[in-house]
Amino acid sequence: MSPDSSTSRGRWLLRRLRESRLGFALLLLVGSVASGVFWLMSLSNALLGTGGLGLLIGQGTDDVRLTLGHAYSPWPGRVVFRDLHLEIHDSAVHFDLEIPRGDLQVDLLALAERRFEAHDLQAEGAKLQMRLAPAYRGPRREARLPDLSAPKAPSGTTRPSDLWGVALGIKRLELQEVWVDDARLEGELKVQGAFDLQPLDAFELFTTEVSVSATDVWLGDRRLSERLQGKLQLEVPRTSVSGSAAPRLLEQAVVNVDLATQVKRLERLNLYLPDRVGLGGGEGELTVEGGLRNLELDEATRLSYRSPSLELRVAELSLTAPSEFVIERRTSTFSTWTLTDLAVARQQTGRAVGGIDRLELNVETRGPLHRLTIHRGDLSLRRLAIAELRAVRPSLPTALRSLEGALEGNGEAHYEGARVSAKTDVRISGLELATDRLSVSADAWFSASASASAPFDDLAFSRLNLDLRDVKLTNGPRRSGSFDAALRATEYQLAWKTLHGSGPMQLKFSDTQPLETAADFDAPDTAKSLFGLRGLDLVVQTNLSSKLQDVRIVRGKSGSARIDGRLLRRGDDARLVLLVSRGVLSVGIAAWRGDSSVVPLAGDDWLQRQLSRI
């Protein structure tokens, strides 16, 4: 067919369509659609080219910001872009996504409903930052973070209906860098999934899978681990994000993980640990396989970490040993931490001061992470020996010199919110403790119930029991015979960082000789016989720290005799005042700095004068 024939036939067909009502309507419809597509394409490219899309989304708020460096639409809804920057933040969380190049399909009708809905996102070279507001509250942590605009202060004027919703379906997103607060992942990360966010109202994360390979984990400028590889699957059902959203999102999150990495050095974790406690070394293999649902580990979850040399730093001590740490979830969650052949050294000099043959901790936990219960914990410590306890100064009294013994114990604990309660039972065998002048050997049984609230600096004991059996005291040339002793307390406060304790307690001794040996004083045998002294039963008020040991006798007796007084030690200066009475008989005993005196028929006036002098 010749071109002229084709043209003629086309003109004839067009003329027949115009003459037909149905044909004319069809021509109008085609023309309207073509015109609409033309204007829609023109409007789309105008919005993309001038930044109008970002202005629409961010209209009336700075909680959501969208900017495009360069973008165009080859057909309705399809957007090809460069330098996309999406920022969503409020007073609780900050989400920042940068994509240098990519394309996606936009639902144009959703724009009329003040929602940005897109799917089939394909992009590479992206950078993602997610930051919770607490990361801004610590200057040392904030200094390690890249620059972002600060989170918006809550004003109470923005309503969810004022904000644009954002829904995004990801077909393939290749990330080269991910920040979660001050932790950074750098390597090959591929994401596939979707999310739907209505700021200040609700968030939903549809099943999203993250594939990781050849990735390093950094904290600030220090590499924490390398060669991270595996998969991570996340899902969060629709959850309210009004108010404090982070705890609710964590509770609702469903996480499945299969990851392995090579841990480097752990020093950077010290920023998250209490003062005077730290980690060092720690190179080793870490593997995690399992899941988390409602903040509770799934069945068959297992975490394993092994290091040939892990350093624990406590006060001025450094403990170094091969370490194995395992968490497994069966009917409950079981954790095992084993350290062998620990070398105990002074941090500043590295000089060895003692050692531990083996330390093993086994813990069984139940419940979700935010309401965790330690159903049972068992601790085994084989032969602790420290020759120079001064290495932990100032956490311990300066007079302490050496410590040796073995320990077996168990306990239970419950954590919820910002409060911990616990109870424990411990046996210490072969205990040997020495100061500059005094040494003690005994077998000990310790049990306690205590609670603490954030920031967990102080322990409140509701039960504190210590039983010492077959105790022997040595004070220079003086040696006591074997005796038993017991300590009981029901309301006692302990600041564990400084070992400062205060409160009432009951002390019992099977013999009075230990007090004489400790005070370097001999009570006359006639006085013992006359006053019927047999053992000691004291209720005392204590104030004990590294620099001061103050023990006031509230109520005391020995056999049929009553005992009042006070023992005060500041450093090497020790002072003891006692008044022993039985009926009309009484005797006063004062011992200061190695000198002692005995005053027959001393009374309460003598006791008050002596107490006022110390």
- CB 254, CB 209: distance < 8 Å: no
Assign 126 a pLDDT band (cuts: 50, 70, 90): very high
Q: What percent of the chain has pLDDT over 70?
A: 73
pLDDT at 219 over 90: no
Q: Do 246 and 370 meet the contact criterion of CB atoms below 8 Å apart?
A: no
Could you give the CA distance from residue 511 to residue 517 in angstroms, rounded to a whole number?
11
CA–CA distance, 264 with 262 (Å, rounded to integer): 6
CB-CB contact of 70 with 50 (8 Å):
no
How many Å apart are CA 39 and CA 46, to the nearest integer? 10
- Taking the C-alpha atoms of 25, 29, 31 and 33 in order, what is their torsion angle to the nearest 10 degrees? 180
Residue 204: count of CB within 10 angstroms of its CB: 16
Site of tokens 């040993």: 321
Report the pLDDT value the prediction gives residue 43, as an integer from 0 to 100. Answer: 46
Per-residue pLDDT tens digits for 249-278 = 778 889 999 999 999 888 878 877 777 788
pLDDT (0 to 100) of residue 216: 94
393 has pLDDT over 50:
no
**Average pLDDT, integer, range 505-515:** 80
Phi and psi dihedrals of 532, rounded to 5? 65, 40
Please state, in angstroms and rounded to a whole number, the distance separating the CA atoms of residues 539 and 487.
10
pLDDT band, very low/low/confident/very high, at 40 (cuts 50, 70, 90):
very low
Band (pLDDT 50/70/90 cuts) for residue 345 is: confident
What 8-state DSSP symbol labels residue 283? -
pLDDT of residue 544: 87
> Residue 447 has which token pair?
């049990």
What number of other Cβ atoms are within 10 A of residue 362's Cβ?
A: 16
Structure tokens at 110: 């959703």
Question: What span, in angstroms and rounded, lies between the C-alpha atoms of 470 and 478?
Answer: 17
Phi/psi at 49 (nearest 5 deg)? -75, -30
CA distance 68 to 471: 79
- Residue 352 pLDDT: 72
pLDDT-derived band at 505, boundaries 50, 70, 90: very high
Q: Which amino acid is at 464?
A: L
Checking DSSP bridges between strand 284-293 and strand 254-263, what pairing results, if any?
antiparallel
- Tens of pLDDT, residue by residue over 158-213, are 676 767 788 889 999 999 999 887 888 999 999 999 999 887 788 899 999 999 99
How confident is residue 152, by pLDDT bands cut at 50, 70 and 90? low
What pLDDT, on the 0 to 100 scale, is given for residue 229?
Answer: 95
Q: At a CB cut-off of 8 Å and minimum separation 6, what does 101 contact? A: 81, 82, 83, 123, 124, 125
Q: Which residue has the higher pLDDT, 417 or 17?
A: 417
pLDDT band for position 42 (cuts 50, 70, 90): very low
Q: Are 92 and 78 in contact (CB under 8 A)?
A: no
Which helix H or strand E contains 301, and what residues bound it? none
pLDDT computed for residue 172 by the predictor: 93
Give the pLDDT mean for 62-67.
68
Nearest by Cα to 229 from 247, 220, 216: 216
- Better-scored residue on pLDDT, 371 or 413: 413
Mean pLDDT of 8-14: 56
Asked if 413 and 420 count as a contact pair (C-beta separation under 8 A), the reply is yes
For residue 420, how many other CB atoms are within 10 A of its CB? 18
Are the C-beta atoms of residues 540 and 552 closer than 8 Å to each other? yes
Residue 18 pLDDT > 60, yes or no? no
Q: List, in sequence order, every residue forming a beta bridge with 128; answer none if it has no partner.
A: 97, 178
Count of C-beta atoms within a 10 Å radius of residue 45: 15
Report pLDDT digits (tens) over 435-484: 767 788 889 999 999 998 877 778 899 999 999 888 888 877 777 778 88
| Mean per-residue pLDDT of the chain | 78
Which helix or strand (DSSP H or E) is residue 210 part of? strand 202-219
Among 54-63, 253-262, 280-289, 363-372, the least confident range: 54-63
Whether residue 324 contacts residue 350, with contact meaning beta carbons closer than 8 Å, is answered with: no
Going by their DSSP bridges, the two strands 165-180 and 115-132 should be labelled as parallel
Residue 96, amino acid:
D
pTM value? 0.68
Of 451, 138, 421, the residue nearest 272 (C-alpha): 138
Q: How many CB atoms lie within 10 A of CB 62?
A: 12
Q: Which residue has the higher pLDDT, 415 or 253?
A: 253
For the chain, the first-to-last Cα distance in angstroms comes to 126
Higher per-residue pLDDT: 95 or 5:
95
211-220, 264-273, 422-431, 549-558: least confident range: 264-273
The mean pLDDT of 383-395, rounded to a whole number, is 56
Give the C-alpha distances (Å, rounded to integers) separating 276 from 143, 272, 325. 22, 12, 22
Six-digit token string for 507: 């002390």
Residue 35's Cβ-side half-sphere holds a number of Cα atoms within 13 Å equal to 6
> Any idea of the CA torsion for 187, 130, 197, 65, to the nearest 10 degrees?
-100
